[in-house]
Chains A and B, each alone.
Chain A
Amino acid sequence: METGWYPVALAEGLERGTSTGARLFGRELVVWRDSAGASHVWEDRCPHRGMRLSFGFVRDNHIVCLYHGWQYDTAAQCRYIPAHPDLAVPSTIRVATYPSIERLGIVWAYNELDSGAPQDIGFAERAPVTPVRSLYVDASAAKVFDALVLAECPSLKNAGGATQRSRTDALVSLKRGGDEILVAVQPLSDVEAALHIVIAGPPDVHSGDSQKRVSAWGEALRREIEGAARPTGEVHHGVAP
């Protein structure tokens, strides 16, 4: 497991006032967006009893544990304990957090808890993208990359020529003619990964048809990656020799 920036969700799909569980290398994260629109990535564990915060809910700018209602502010500091309503909550009660940032229409987390100095993510702040979808695959991130570096860019608006591919630690770009899609790969566990797919270019150009085309491309890629590796689902008719 390398320390660095990894995608955990598509930014647009994470609505205000909602939370979800996510994993990086088997570690459990809660990804949530407060009512002001800021996203947060924390360890998915309430310090009180270890309950997963992603089972809880967001109210205003607090995320609330479903178990006993402890509330945490956007700095991960516990602010309210319902069983002790008059208590000034000690500052030591806080959730461990991951540095996070939104770039390319994707929420990224730096996989070092309470890191004071994460490296620069390196992506431009305002590159316009059109989100497509997140796809969850029963295969390792390595297998996903193996398929992606051989994949063809689906043709969108300005197709032409051969697919040009480039890769950084967690992101693959497939470019052909004037079309480009970006696929960020989230290693969930040794045998599962997620692909967060966006089209480079603004939504007024790519909403609708291009999104559908890229989504169908992703489903075909998922079938190819999983291939015969899936545990069941196919009937094998044995023939006696």
Chain B
Amino acid sequence: MSEISLYDFELDENCYKVRLFLSVLGLSYRKVPVNMVPGREHLAPALMALNPRGSLPILTNSDFVLSEAEAIMTYLARAHDNGNAWLPAEPKARGLVAMWLQFASRDLHAAFLARRLAMFDEPGDEVALGFAARSAFRLMEDHMTAREFDRAAWFVGDNPSLADLALFPAIALSRDFGVEHEAYPALRRWMRRVRTTPGFVTMPGIPDYY
């Protein structure tokens, strides 16, 4: 029996996306802690051999190696979620989930960089990153506001999907880089729903109590 290994840094939001989905799926896995900050182990030769991009998370399963959180989540959904609950098979829903996964990795990258700047003193333009992050959160807020008019609770379809799990960390952690949740009432209600997902776990910066 093969074993899933996750190269993981506890404070990294992209690693958290994968930990969250592994927990929701109820899969057991081996966690390989990587000292990203301050150790910069993700850039050391052993990990660069696994993932030349020098990013976390990295998932391995026997000889198979995969990086990028959204790609790993897609792989895990296809491999372990037989009911297609998290990655819907219906074409339109599938396309919409793919769009929001792209949004999570591209539009929300500014939020990721803003948080790394605030927490780990990584380089970056604080004003520009903060503005780009708030612009992305605003798009999410407008989307969930419109969804509520249709009495819908999730980003896509009638049930939670990978879109919800991939979009959750950046906004849930936004206080780490000084963006309060004041301006996002629809996202606040949605975040409370995400927290009720069976198997939901938190990470440092996301309170257990809410």
**A residues with CB within 8 A of B:** 9-10, 13, 15, 18, 20-23, 55-57, 64, 66, 133-134, 136, 188, 194, 207-208, 211-212, 215, 219, 230-233
Contacts and interface: CB of A to CB of B under 8 A. Distances in A.
Interface of B: 127-128, 131-132, 135, 138, 142, 145-146, 149-150, 175, 180-183, 185-186, 188-189, 192, 207, 209-210
A20 B207 contact: no
A171 to B, nearest CB: 19
Q: For chain B, what secondary structure do more than half of its interface residues adopt (helix, strand, loop), or is it mixed?
A: helix
30 contacts: A9-B185, A13-B189, A15-B192, A18-B188, A18-B192, A20-B181, A20-B185, A20-B188, A21-B181, A22-B182, A55-B207, A57-B207, A57-B209, A57-B210, A64-B209, A133-B185, A133-B186, A134-B185, A136-B138, A188-B182, A207-B149, A208-B150, A211-B149, A215-B145, A215-B149, A219-B142, A230-B131, A232-B127, A232-B132, A233-B132
A21 B185 CA distance: 10
Contact of B185 (A10, A219, A230): A10
B145 A133 contact: yes
Given A212-B146, A231-B127, A232-B128, A20 B182 contact: yes
Contacts of B150: 208
A136 B180 contact: no
A215 B146 contact: yes
Nearest to B141: A136
B182 A136 contact: yes
Contacts of B127: 231-232
Nearest to B145: A133
A208 B149 contact: yes
Nearest to A213: B149
Contacts of A64: 209
A197 B149 CA distance: 14
B149 A233 contact: no
A66 B185 contact: no
Contacts of B207: 55, 57, 66
B149 A194 contact: no
A20 B181 CA distance: 8
Contacts of A134: 185
Contacts of B149: 207-208, 211-212, 215
